[in-house]
């Protein structure tokens, strides 16, 4: 019995390590490439481990772009969007999962449907709406005359503040919580909001963490929307900044890898922080309490 | 009765901010696109109404849309089950309370944060026929070089493998959150009944994860059916159109050919397909646990 | 260096004289295509300060747009009726914008330009229906490049590059290395997909005396006898001479296939040469550039990018000043150097950055034989259709004649706006 368990643990670790190599390989290559001199980057046969280490690519990344400013912009946009999505998304997700009201499922599927049209066709209408936004960027109340949300944080945030994605995710998780919880709370005289805030939310910390991680990652990584809504350099986001190293015919791999690596760090930090809420047994203690 | 009414009102109140905001940023653009799908629109001139012309043109004899549809279907069929299987498996593995799990979870999330440019670069190198890593390894076993990305019979499958690699980490996180929500006492009860590990999975884990799997599958449908990025950065639809997907074609029509009307029409054909599939999905998933999906 | 400085100073003085009289705070939005670091650095650190000194009254907002996303960004901007006053694009974009009255014809401005002659024939590269819409900024040609060491290995003289199809074929066969049925080194790389396939085919088509589209822009004529022969020549290289294959030989990272030795000859643009210099310096010394090939005509594909003015620009005169400044000899020279592209001005043909490398010089000399793709509104679509069928012929799925006939039928529909 004991032996079988040890064997299972060893087997688990063996599988975990093997998968880790495959999953992390390209990322590790990125890390190595960021410190290899140009001539070694694509040596043939390939040199996996850097033979010579250089900081030139990191220097170049900073010299050619206004990276600190791009970081600030991306942090503001991704940070704000994460908070609003968690707040409003979970509220709506709760209502769709656990409250009864006429038209509930129709409205839900309509919201779900908005994700099914590719961005490449909705980007033009969305851009026109952002430009016609009333009383912004010199526009009058009818949205005419100025540049609207173009080149503003409002413009960058426009499609991200609340997304169908967050609603859908929280709904699915709230749906999986046992119904008896609500009924017990209702008998105790708890309001709907009370059930949401005092019962469901505390039980859903892994979900809130997941939604935060995903929203942050999505907004941080998005390229197309910042591309169309931003013209001025000081409003660019990190993903636009990375374009500097890609040109018509080629890619400047060293600085690109260095910059990409730096751009990846905040997303990884958010992921690692979010993981603290993935502690087995939260649900259990919640149930018993 | 009054209680029920209050429930109604609260429901609308809770979804109001979301509903209003999504109406502005998603419904209205969508309705505008739907209108454009009935027009001849090149973004330079005002749209000209052309009725069902775009739809007739796409669904008619124009061969490329059907080729793209076929490729998209094959891609989704290959990517989705494999992704769900792998991500659930990994989630169960890293859900254990063993040392080092934070490290493994983070490692599995790395492909998600690895930029697509960097990822496609390294996969092109892995897949390269003459100097690629994969063929080098295979040659040790005496396998002849395989044209992973340059053969019309292989390219789509090679891209599917890469897509699974890139997407597992994402779904693993969702399943991880789902696993955490399963009350421990259900397993304890199962163990008292003498259920084997497999029975525990089949009778507790899998049914409890239904809403999560519905989510994973639906989001998977939405994203694989719109596949664009890896096609654009790795194969540009070739060789011989073997990797041309609907998402890639919509992009080409919209911004290469400036045929926004036709691109919108294709987008709504795609919309109908995805929507239908996700409704079928509901029926399938709610066969046992009503109203929970 | 001193001379360059004098020229810049002269331009600054001249332009500052003409700039008097603009309303204070005229804003001009300029979108450059391309985000290469050296290019952006040159513009931001050298050219913009010069401009601001010369035109204190024009608030010039420069945005650098990646080439791959240029049409997305322009499309949305035009759709929202907020296009940039001036934007850079390739000559192939001219017809689409011009046919929809979205860009301003430049003839009346060019007529007043004192040194318009300096552009030579390149000033017509953005012409559509007899009007000129583009002020050229830089160009690229697709010429055959080869390696002196591989030439010697195969017993060929590196100082005598192939000049005709037959010599090309012979050189390709001689340099091909096989292992069993597999080609280890292709004598000549022929791209079989997308833009590359179409561009290489255009070289052969023109060299054989053929052309793509009839003079009136309404009919595809590449399925002529000349066109079919050109495609047959490519297909024969693959299946008869077996000196190339259907595989796309894309650069691995920044290592061009010719630098890694996967191919012995390829058709390259000047930028490829620059990459070989940076990433494969030891191979670079072996690289040679052949002049445009000839079968019935000596010709090669050269295409230019330049500046366009939006029809909706509210400050056209100021916009023109910006265009003129950016294409003035000193500024243009700096921009082309930073991009590693060919300058469209005759006076820059012997600029130091060109004179120092005989390879780039070969590209500049080849400009005299340059020809551009046709300017028709549906060009991108026509190009893609053609590329699809070239690929079918290259993969042996269709015969060259059938492929080009089908392509021509589809292109005719596209040209008719269907």
Give A279's pLDDT tier (boundaries 50, 70, 90). low
Asked if residue A116 belongs to a domain, the reply is yes
Contacts 24+ apart (CB under 8 A), C108-111: C109/C320, C109/C323, C109/C324, C110/C135
Write out the residue range of the structural domain in which residue A233 sits.
Answer: 69-288
Domain hosting B78: range is 63-285
Residue in C76, C252, C391 nearest the CB of B238: C391
Residue whose token pair is 């169309």:
A228
Question: Residue B54 corresponds to which tokens in the numbers above?
Answer: 């775009």
CB distance C37–A243 less than 8 Å? no
Residue among B27, B105, B113 with most chain A CBs within 10 A, to mutate: B113
Over the stretch C276-332, which tens digit does the pLDDT of each residue have? 888 888 899 999 999 999 999 999 999 999 999 999 999 999 999 999 999 999 999
Q: How many CB pairs lie under 8 A apart between chains A and B?
A: 280
Question: Looking at the complex, does the CB of residue C260 fall below 8 Å from at least one CB of chain A?
Answer: yes
Residue C1, pLDDT > 70, answer no
The answer on pLDDT for A205 being more than 80 is yes
CATH at B78: 1.10.3720.10
What CA–CA distance (Å, rounded) separates C100 from C107? 18
**The CATH number of the domain covering residues in C143-301+374-415:** 3.40.190.10
pLDDT of residue A280: 52
Write out the residue limits of the CATH 3.40.190.10 domain(s) in chain C.
Answer: 2-139+303-367, 143-301+374-415
Give the helix ranges, DSSP H, for chain A.
2-33, 38-41, 56-64, 67-98, 104-113, 119-131, 153-157, 164-176, 180-187, 192-194, 201-203, 205-221, 224-229, 238-242, 253-275, 282-288
CA angle (C21, C23, C27) in 5-degree steps: 120
Give the pLDDT band of residue A96 (cuts 50, 70, 90).
very high
Number of domains in chain B: 1
Element (H, E) at C211: none
Tens of each residue's pLDDT in chain B, 293 residues: 344 555 578 889 999 999 999 999 999 999 999 999 999 999 999 999 999 999 998 887 766 789 999 999 999 999 999 999 999 999 998 888 788 888 999 999 999 988 777 788 788 888 888 778 888 889 889 888 888 998 999 999 999 999 999 999 999 999 998 888 788 888 888 888 888 888 989 888 898 888 889 999 999 999 999 999 889 888 888 899 999 999 999 999 999 999 999 999 999 999 999 999 998 888 777 644 444 44
Min mean pLDDT across A134-148, A165-179, B206-220 is at: A134-148
H runs (alpha helix) in C55-193 = 70-79, 94-99, 107-111, 148-153, 165-175
B36 lies in some domain? no
Domains: count for chain A: 1
Q: Which residues of A touch B184 (CB under 8 A)?
A: 281, 283-284, 287
> For residue C408, what is the enclosing H or E element?
helix C400-415
Contacts of A21 (CB under 8 A, 6+ apart): none
Class of domain C2-139+303-367 (CATH, top level): alpha beta
Cα C344–C345–C349 angle (5° rounding)?
A: 95
Give me the residue from C31, C35, C79 closest to A244, CB to CB. C35
> For residue B62, what pLDDT is reported?
64
Q: Do B17 and A15 touch (CB under 8 A)?
A: no
CB A85 within 8 A of CB A92: no
Task: Provide the β-strand partners of residue C183.
Answer: C178
Q: Chains touching chain A at 3 or more Cβ pairs under 8 angstroms?
A: B, C
The closest CB to that of C75, out of B131, B147, B255, belongs to B255
pLDDT band with cut points at 50, 70 and 90 for residue C2: low
Mark yes or no for CB contact B44/C102 under 8 Å. yes
Q: What's the maximum distance between 2 C-alpha atoms anywhere in chain C?
A: 75
Count of pairs with CB atoms under 8 A, one residue in A, one in C: 92
CATH number, domain of A82, equals 1.10.3720.10
- Distance in angstroms (rounded) separating the CA atoms of residues C43 and C51: 10
Contacts of A232 in chain C (CB under 8 A): 61, 63
Cβ-defined contacts of A22-26 (< 8 Å, 24+): A22/B165, A23/B107, A23/B108, A23/B110, A23/B111, A23/B165, A23/B168, A23/B169, A24/B107, A24/B110, A25/B122, A26/B110, A26/B111, A26/B114, A26/B118, A26/B119, A26/B122, A26/B123
Our CA-based measurement puts residue C215 at a distance from the nearest CA of chain A, in whole angstroms, of: 31
Q: Is residue B194 part of a domain?
A: yes
Average pLDDT, chain C: 90
**A15: closest CA of chain B, how far (Å):** 9
| Residue B120: inside a domain | yes
Interface test with A, best of C45, C66, C79, C271 (most A CBs within 10 A): C66
Position C392 confidence tier, pLDDT thresholds 50, 70, 90: very high
Quick: pLDDT tens for A81-90.
Answer: 999 999 999 9
Separation between Cα atoms, residue B194 and residue B151, nearest integer Å: 52
Is position B188 within any domain? yes
What count of Cα atoms within 13 Å lies in the side-chain half-sphere of residue C307? 25
Residue B42 lies in a domain: no
Distance from CA of C93 to the nearest CA of B (A): 10
Which residues of B, range 150-179, sit inside 8 Å of A by Cβ?
Answer: 165, 168-170, 173-174, 176-178
Q: For residue A264, is it within any domain?
A: yes
Complex ipTM value: 0.87
* Residue in C36, C82, C279 closest to A42 by CB: C279
pLDDT level of residue C233 (50, 70, 90 thresholds): very high
Rounded mean pLDDT, A151-159: 93
What's the confidence (pLDDT) of residue C197? 92
B37 falls within a domain: no
């Amino acid at each position: 019995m004991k032996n079988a368990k040890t064997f299972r643990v060893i087997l688990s670790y063996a599988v975990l390590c093997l998968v880790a190599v495959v999953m992390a390989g390209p990322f590790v290559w990125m890390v190595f490439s960021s410190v290899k001199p140009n001539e070694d980057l694509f040596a043939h046969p390939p040199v996996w481990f850097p033979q010579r280490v250089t900081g030139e690519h990191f220097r170049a990344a900073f010299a050619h772009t206004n990276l600190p400013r791009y970081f600030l912009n991306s942090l503001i946009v991704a940070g704000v969007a994460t908070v609003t999505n968690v707040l409003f998304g979970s509220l709506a997700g709760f209502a769709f999962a656990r409250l009864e009201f006429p038209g509930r499922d129709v409205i839900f599927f309509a919201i779900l449907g908005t994700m099914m049209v590719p961005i490449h066709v909705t980007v033009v209408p969305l851009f026109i709406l952002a430009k016609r936004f009333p009383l912004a960027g010199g526009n009058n109340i009818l949205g005419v005359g100025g540049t609207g949300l173009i080149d503003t944080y409002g413009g960058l945030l426009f499609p991200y503040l609340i997304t169908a994605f967050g609603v859908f995710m929280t709904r699915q998780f709230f749906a999986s919580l046992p119904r008896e919880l609500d009924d017990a709370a209702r008998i105790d005289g708890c309001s709907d909001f009370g059930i949401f805030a005092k019962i469901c939310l505390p039980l859903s910390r892994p979900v809130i963490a997941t939604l935060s991680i995903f929203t942050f990652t999505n907004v941080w990584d998005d390229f197309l929307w910042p591309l169309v809504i931003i013209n001025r350099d000081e409003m660019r986001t990190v993903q636009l900044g990375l374009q500097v190293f890609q040109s018509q015919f080629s890619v400047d791999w060293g600085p690109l890898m260095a910059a990409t690596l730096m751009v990846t760090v905040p997303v990884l930090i958010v992921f690692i922080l979010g993981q603290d809420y993935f502690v087995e047994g939260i649900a259990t203690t919640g149930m018993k309490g | 009765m009054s209680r029920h009414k209050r429930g109604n009102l609260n429901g609308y109140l809770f979804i109001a901010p979301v509903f209003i905001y999504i109406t502005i940023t998603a419904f209205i653009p969508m309705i505008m696109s739907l209108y454009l799908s009935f027009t001849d629109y090149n973004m330079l001139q005002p749209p000209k109404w052309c009725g069902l012309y775009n739809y007739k043109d796409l669904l008619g004899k124009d061969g490329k849309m059907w080729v793209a549809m076929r490729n998209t279907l094959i891609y989704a069929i290959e990517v989705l089950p494999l992704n769900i299987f792998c991500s659930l498996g990994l989630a169960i593995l890293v859900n254990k309370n063993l040392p080092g799990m934070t490290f493994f979870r983070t490692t599995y999330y790395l492909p998600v944060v690895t930029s697509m440019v960097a990822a496609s670069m390294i996969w092109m190198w892995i897949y390269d026929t003459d100097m690629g890593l994969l063929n080098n390894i295979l040659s040790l076993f005496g396998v002849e070089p395989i044209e992973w990305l340059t053969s019309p019979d292989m390219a789509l499958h090679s891209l599917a493998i890469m897509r699974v690699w890139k997407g597992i980490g994402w779904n693993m996180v969702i399943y991880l959150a789902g696993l955490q929500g399963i009350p421990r006492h259900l397993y304890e009860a199962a163990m008292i009944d003498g259920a084997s590990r497999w029975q525990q999975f089949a009778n507790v884990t899998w049914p409890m994860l239904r809403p999560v799997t519905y989510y994973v599958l639906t989001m998977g449908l939405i994203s694989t059916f719109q596949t664009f990025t890896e096609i654009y950065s790795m194969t540009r639809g070739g060789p011989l159109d073997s990797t041309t997907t609907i998402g890639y074609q919509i992009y080409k029509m919209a911004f290469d050919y400036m045929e926004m009307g036709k691109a919108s029409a294709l987008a709504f054909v795609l919309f109908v397909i995805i929507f239908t599939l996700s409704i079928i999905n509901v029926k399938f998933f709610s066969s046992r646990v009503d109203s929970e999906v | 260096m001193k001379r360059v400085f004098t020229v810049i100073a002269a331009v600054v003085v001249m332009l500052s004289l003409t700039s008097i009289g603009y309303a204070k705070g005229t804003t001009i939005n300029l979108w450059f295509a391309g985000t290469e670091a050296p290019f952006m650095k040159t513009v931001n650190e050298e050219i913009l300060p010069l401009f601001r000194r010369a035109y204190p009254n024009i608030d010039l907002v420069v945005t650098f747009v990646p080439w791959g996303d240029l049409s997305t960004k322009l499309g949305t901007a035009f759709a929202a009726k907020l296009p940039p006053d001036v934007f850079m694009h390739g000559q192939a974009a001219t017809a689409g914008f011009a046919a929809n009255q979205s860009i301003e014809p430049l003839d009346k401005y060019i007529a007043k330009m004192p040194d318009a002659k300096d552009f030579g024939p390149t000033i017509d590269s953005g012409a559509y229906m007899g009007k000129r819409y583009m002020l050229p900024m830089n160009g690229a040609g697709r010429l055959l490049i080869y390696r002196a060491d591989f030439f010697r290995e195969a017993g060929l003289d590196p100082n005598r590059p192939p000049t005709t199809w037959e010599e090309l074929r012979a050189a390709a066969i001689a340099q091909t290395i096989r292992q069993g049925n597999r080609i280890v080194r292709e004598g000549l790389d022929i791209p079989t997909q997308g833009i590359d396939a179409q561009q290489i085919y255009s070289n052969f088509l023109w060299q054989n005396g053929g052309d793509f589209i009839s003079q009136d822009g309404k009919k595809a004529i590449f399925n002529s006898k000349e066109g079919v022969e050109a495609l047959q020549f490519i297909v024969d290289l693959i299946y008869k001479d077996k000196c190339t294959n259907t595989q796309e030989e894309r650069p691995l990272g920044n290592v061009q296939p010719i630098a890694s030795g996967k191919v012995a000859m390829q058709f390259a643009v000047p930028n490829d040469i620059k990459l070989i210099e940076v990433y494969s310096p030891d191979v670079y010394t072996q690289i040679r550039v052949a002049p445009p090939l000839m079968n019935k005509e000596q010709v090669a594909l050269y295409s230019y990018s330049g500046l366009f003015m939006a029809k909706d620009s509210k400050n056209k005169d100021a916009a023109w000043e910006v265009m003129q400044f950016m294409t003035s000899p000193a500024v243009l020279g700096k921009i082309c150097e930073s991009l590693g592209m060919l300058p469209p001005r005759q006076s820059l043909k012997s600029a130091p950055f060109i004179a120092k490398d005989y390879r780039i010089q070969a590209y500049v000399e080849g400009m005299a034989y340059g020809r551009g793709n046709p300017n028709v509104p549906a060009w991108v679509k026509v190009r893609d259709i053609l590329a699809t069928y070239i690929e079918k012929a290259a993969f042996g799925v269709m015969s060259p004649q059938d492929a080009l006939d089908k392509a021509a039928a589809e292109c005719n529909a596209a040209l008719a706006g269907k």
